[in-house]
Amino acid sequence: MAKQKTQKSILKRFKITKNGKVLHRSSFARHLRTKKSASQKRRQAQVKHMVGPRARKIKRMLALA
């Protein structure tokens, strides 16, 4: 069976920590920020972690699982 290749688009968007957590940035945080509240902008500035089946799928696409 052939080796699974890493999906480069996933590699650019997600980071896997040492403990195996999947980190990603928020969407809707790049432009059109004047209409967004300060609390929403603060929330979107933070890096978020993904859990559950989606995180497992991301790891599989990165050829880590």
Q: Does 48 fall in a domain?
A: yes
Q: What is the extent of the structural domain holding 38?
A: 8-61
Q: Does 33 fall in a domain?
A: yes
Structural domain count of the chain: 1
- What are the start-end ranges of the H helices in the chain? 8-13, 38-45, 53-61
- pLDDT of 65: 61
- pLDDT of 35: 96
β-pairing, 22-24 vs 48-50, is antiparallel
- pLDDT of 64: 75
- The CATH number of whichever domain residue 56 belongs to comes to 4.10.410
Main-chain dihedrals φ then ψ at residue 8, nearest 5 degrees: -65, -30
Instruction: Collect all residues with Cβ–Cβ distance below 8 Å to 37 and sequence separation of at least 6.
Output: none
> CA–CA separation, 37 vs 28, rounded Å?
13
**Tens of pLDDT, residue by residue, the chain (65 residues):** 788 888 999 999 999 999 999 999 999 999 999 999 999 999 999 999 999 999 999 999 998 76
